[in-house]
Chain A
Amino acid sequence: MRILVTLDVNGHQREVGIRPYATLLDVVREDLDLTGTKRGCDMGTCGCCTVLMDGNPALACLTLAADCEGKAIETIESLRSEDGLHPLQLAFEEAGATQCGFCTPGFIMAAKAFLRDKPDLSREDIAYEISGNMCRCTGYVKILDAIEKAAAMLREDEYPEKIPDVQVKTGKKAAGAKAVKKKARSSASS
């Protein structure tokens, strides 16, 4: 038996027929072909399936897809836009924070969420924030490097998402333009 749900994924309304007990992870990977979200344990212990729901991190493997109607879901695929890569993606690449890469999407999504609210975290605090995600390759050293680097980039850019309104300081046109675009996208999706 399948039920029809409408999910808001990466700014698009997607109507999908799902098994009633399907998890959000099943649906994004198998029905929506968004395979960037990884299945590492299927029991909420590794964080590889972290996605954002209304901006907050969620473990897709423990979330019933049928419960997600009306919520804005973001997966790793949403981060790469016509503006290029998200600062977190750039930082993960440059800092060598990805080795096998299986945990990377989950880390980036988790970091995106907490950096929005807390852009000035210390390294220790970042370690605490990412402790729901598991990496077996890097020993977390370069992941912390990357998130610190991305946080600095985001602060420098006054990255639009942490600005409550679109009032961007003059002289930062690029950031302002991005902010408007983001704003437009988020209002379209909500």
Chain B
Amino acid sequence: MAKRQKANRKYNIIGTRIPLVDSRHKVTGEAVYTEDISFPGMLVGRILRSPHPHARIKKIDTSKAEALPGVVAVCTGVEAPITFGVLPISKDENALAVEKVRYVGDSVAAVAAEDVETAERAINLIEVEYEELPVYTRPIDCTKTVEEKIHKHCRGNTNVHKEVRQHFGNIKRAFHESDCVKGDTFKFDGVTHAFTEPHCCIAVWEANDRLSVYSAQQVPHYLHRALSEVLEVPMHQIRVVKPAVGGGFGGKSDPFPHEIACALLARKANRPVKITFTREEVFLSNHGRHPSTISVKMGVDKEGMIQGIEIDALIDGGAYASFGVVSTYYNGVLSQGPYRIPNFKYRGRRVYTNTPPSGAMRGHGSVNTRYAIETVLDMICDEKGLDPCEVRLKNCLPEHTATINQFRITSNGIQECIERARDQSDWNNKYRKLPYGRGIGIGCGFYISGSNLPIHWTRTPQSTVHLKVDMDGGVTLHTGASDIGQGSDTMAAQCVAEVLGLSMDYVHVKAVDSDLSPIDLGSYSSRVTFMNGNAAREAAEGIAQQLAAAAAKLTGVPAERFVFHGNVLSDRDNPSVVVPYMDALTEALAETGALIASGKYLSPKLGGKFKGAGAGLSPTYSFQAFVAEVTVDPDTGIVTADHVWAAHDVGKALNPLAVEGQIEGSVHMGLGQALSEYMHYRKGQLLNANLLDYRCVSPIEMPPVDVIIVESDDPEGPFGAKECGEGALAPIIPAVANAIYDAVGVRVKRVPVDPDFLATQIARKQDSADKKSKKPRIAAVR
């Protein structure tokens, strides 16, 4: 109870609905994105892409392109043969193809020219001789012996990139002792981020031989490392700047070939070069969610308690590694919550195929397995006549516990999430009670709030924030945290303003310019609020100490008695003693010059000692329970989401306006994966590489979303906060599928749901129901 009281503590800035600090620039069109930047003499860069899904490059002749007037530089793969990748353990990408091309769209050569037209003409003048190789697009084929391995480092004679096996407890015995064991296999098409801003990068190789790169990036620090390694330039000779970024969702969280190619061109041309992707290139670059086939088997006892889960995941990594090793683990280990799983067995395999690379996408690794688990749990509830909310409540992990694979669970609001989503959606009056064609379903989830282990094994803190306060009173916040629209700049500013008792206009965020910003590992794994927020708070406390000492000097009141609020410092015990912020600052500056403070976050040592113990470790976890109500037209199979109740344990909502935005956005993206979005390939060729045929949910299809913010007050989070931007995606998809079953009695086993197939299944089911069976038969979709 004491804990919850802490959550209700009065704050000045924390917990208030604040517009994002950069929103004024965004509503006026003043915000500067990479494509809005230009430099004198800047050239246009373009990339020649492979027309083949798998081919050996026998010869590249660039002479005609080089001879074209207006062409300044042409680069090919031999100029940068060092491989790179976001994970140090799987560097398998080249800036430009060296020996082989591995998907339609793979980078082959790059051109810098005076204008777009010349660059495009030059691209077409590059002559490449290919020797076509066997094409692998079916993941299952890639697990067997292959004629031509996509990468040399694949396991054995297959195209398997990574295989993971884990077994905790005794799954065989668990199933044997279970009252009901159910399982099924689910198929997931690939989905992609579809952010609105295409990738864009500018490279400037300055006269002092220093490289500046401006890029739409979520993880500028990893780009910095990759540039240094591939170009063989020391890191201090490279400056990476992240301008405003038009959305990422994981799609801008790898160092990309075009970024390195852009730098190569700039070095060769001795002039700034800008590469902007076309929308088709954005789709081909992909790095979206892995197309997957996931089997889940689950056993429960008579009371409905889960006894064990067995998972087999085969995920399609596309042509390159990206975050794939992590994805392979995540597809299993992120099923350890929000329920207590006493026995657990997992096999995960990631294969290379000749399609655009898969990578990290919002909810990385947790989404598809979550769907399978929540659906199987719903099947069990259906068979045993149990209420899905009750069963979930029974199985909830408690607070302050550990999972069987030794994840440390601290704050945990899953129970409150389920109860509030159930009550607000009027679940008890709707489940199995709505008329035919309408249904309600629930899905839960949990997600990491920052990966506990940094990608590169160093002892450097995962996030550092610097503050500088000078005589004008303004607080300059230097951070490497990458605001991609989620509002991390606002979050950091709020943490600082709260500690110093200042209004938000005092804090100025200067983010991600590697010359100025201390390192933050970037916007991935939902780590920024937790880690950067803690660093910002610690830095602000450093400034607060200096101000309190100055106020003590002015008043004679002990420094530790000062509290900060409303732009003043006041004596906690005698509120009539008030020192205006500017007076305290002037006094503090008299001895020191500008006030400087640094704050950091380094995650605690956690986890077990077995292989793969680090995957999925996080200092804390978020929890969700989402309820969806849908209408299914039995004739057409078209599914309409009518209403969503989204309960998310965010620890503490630092800014409820931003939290709601994250959850609503996640619901939107998840509904897309449930109902309409998929990457449509044919023989390795992406057929729907545009925003018309890749169907995101439109404003008309978007249902009302009731966001239910649950605050469990995390003991280690900044002001109790944890993540809210990724975990919110996974639960909506099974919630919709379970609602479809409630509506028409058909299980969706392939995501997204295909209306034609759903209609066929509904018709078939009705026929057979008419003919003989009274009991509804479960039909497979697609």
Give chain A's interface residues, CB within 8 Å of chain B.
19, 29, 34-43, 45-46, 48, 75-77, 79-80, 85, 88-90, 92-94, 96, 98-105, 108, 127-128, 130-131, 133-144
Given A100-B197, A102-B196, A103-B196, A85 and B23 contact (CB-CB distance below 8 Å): no
**A55–B468 Cα gap in the complex (Å)?**
47
**A19–B117 Cα gap in the complex (Å)?**
11
Q: Does B195 contact A (CB under 8 A)?
A: yes
Main secondary structure of the interface of B (DSSP, over half): loop
Given the complex, which residues of A lie within 8 Å of B667, measured CB to CB? Answer: 139
- Most chain A beta carbons < 10 A, residue from B29, B36, B246, B247: B29
**A141–B643 Cα gap in the complex (Å)?**
12
Given the complex, which residues of B lie within 8 Å of A139, measured CB to CB? Answer: 664-669, 697, 702, 705
Closest to A127 in B: B699
Given A96-B660, A98-B27, A101-B485, A141 and B700 contact (CB-CB distance below 8 Å): no
Proximity string of chain B (700-722) to chain A, C-beta cutoff 8 Å, 1 when within and 0 when not: 10101100000000000000000
Q: CB distance A137 to B27 under 8 Å?
A: no
**A135–B30 Cα gap in the complex (Å)?**
18
Q: CB distance A85 to B27 under 8 Å?
A: yes
**A104–B668 Cα gap in the complex (Å)?**
17
Closest to B244 in A: A101
**A183–B31 Cα gap in the complex (Å)?**
29
**A19–B114 Cα gap in the complex (Å)?**
14
Given the complex, which residues of B lie within 8 Å of A98, measured CB to CB? Answer: 20, 23, 26-27
Given the complex, which residues of A lie within 8 Å of B276, measured CB to CB? Answer: 39
Q: CB distance A35 to B32 under 8 Å?
A: yes
A89-B27, A139-B697, A141-B704 provided; 10 other pairs, C-beta below 8 A? A19-B117, A46-B691, A96-B658, A98-B27, A100-B196, A128-B700, A134-B196, A136-B669, A139-B665, A139-B668
Given the complex, which residues of A lie within 8 Å of B195, measured CB to CB? Answer: 100, 102, 136
Q: CB distance A140 to B696 under 8 Å?
A: no
**A45–B219 Cα gap in the complex (Å)?**
28
Q: Does B680 contact A (CB under 8 A)?
A: no
Given A37-B29, A128-B700, A141 and B246 contact (CB-CB distance below 8 Å): no
Q: Does B360 contact A (CB under 8 A)?
A: no
Given the complex, which residues of B lie within 8 Å of A29, measured CB to CB? Answer: 36
Given the complex, which residues of A lie within 8 Å of B487, measured CB to CB? Answer: 99
Given the complex, which residues of A lie within 8 Å of B561, measured CB to CB? Answer: none
Q: Does B198 contact A (CB under 8 A)?
A: yes
Q: CB distance A43 to B196 under 8 Å?
A: no
Q: CB distance B665 to A138 under 8 Å?
A: yes
**A136–B457 Cα gap in the complex (Å)?**
34
Q: CB distance B23 to A92 under 8 Å?
A: yes
Given A141-B664, A142-B660, A36 and B29 contact (CB-CB distance below 8 Å): yes
Assign chain B's interface to a size class: 35 or more
Q: CB distance B657 to A136 under 8 Å?
A: no
Say which residue of A34, A38, A138 sits within 8 Å of B661 (CB atoms). A138
Given the complex, which residues of A lie within 8 Å of B19, measured CB to CB? Answer: 93-94, 96
Say which residue of B117, B246, B660, B705 sits within 8 Å of A102 (CB atoms). B246
- Most chain B beta carbons < 10 A, residue from A29, A77, A134: A134
Given the complex, which residues of B lie within 8 Å of A38, measured CB to CB? Answer: 33, 196-197, 246
Proximity string of chain B (456-485) to chain A, C-beta cutoff 8 Å, 1 when within and 0 when not: 000000000000000000000000000011
Say which residue of B22, B484, B669, B702 sits within 8 Å of A141 (CB atoms). B702
**A181–B194 Cα gap in the complex (Å)?**
41
**A183–B4 Cα gap in the complex (Å)?**
57
Given the complex, which residues of B lie within 8 Å of A46, measured CB to CB? Answer: 196, 279, 691
Smallest CB separation, B110 vs chain A (Å) = 20
Given the complex, which residues of B lie within 8 Å of A88, measured CB to CB? Answer: 27
Q: CB distance A40 to B196 under 8 Å?
A: yes
**A137–B696 Cα gap in the complex (Å)?**
12
Q: Does B2 contact A (CB under 8 A)?
A: no
Q: CB distance B664 to A136 under 8 Å?
A: no
Q: CB distance A127 to B702 under 8 Å?
A: yes
Smallest CB separation, A157 vs chain B (Å) = 18
Q: CB distance B29 to A35 under 8 Å?
A: yes
Q: CB distance A102 to B197 under 8 Å?
A: yes
A-B CB contact pairs (8 Å), 11 listed:
A34-B29, A41-B690, A80-B28, A98-B23, A100-B245, A103-B246, A105-B29, A128-B699, A136-B195, A141-B664, A142-B661
Given the complex, which residues of A lie within 8 Å of B1, measured CB to CB? Answer: none
Given the complex, which residues of A lie within 8 Å of B36, measured CB to CB? Answer: 29, 35
Say which residue of B485, B668, B702 sits within 8 Å of A100 (CB atoms). B485
Smallest CB separation, A98 vs chain B (Å) = 5
Proximity string of chain B (631-672) to chain A, C-beta cutoff 8 Å, 1 when within and 0 when not: 000000000000000000000000001101100111111000
**A154–B668 Cα gap in the complex (Å)?**
29
Smallest CB separation, A126 vs chain B (Å) = 8
**A140–B22 Cα gap in the complex (Å)?**
19
Q: Does B692 contact A (CB under 8 A)?
A: yes
Q: CB distance B197 to A104 under 8 Å?
A: no
Given the complex, which residues of A lie within 8 Å of B208, measured CB to CB? Answer: none
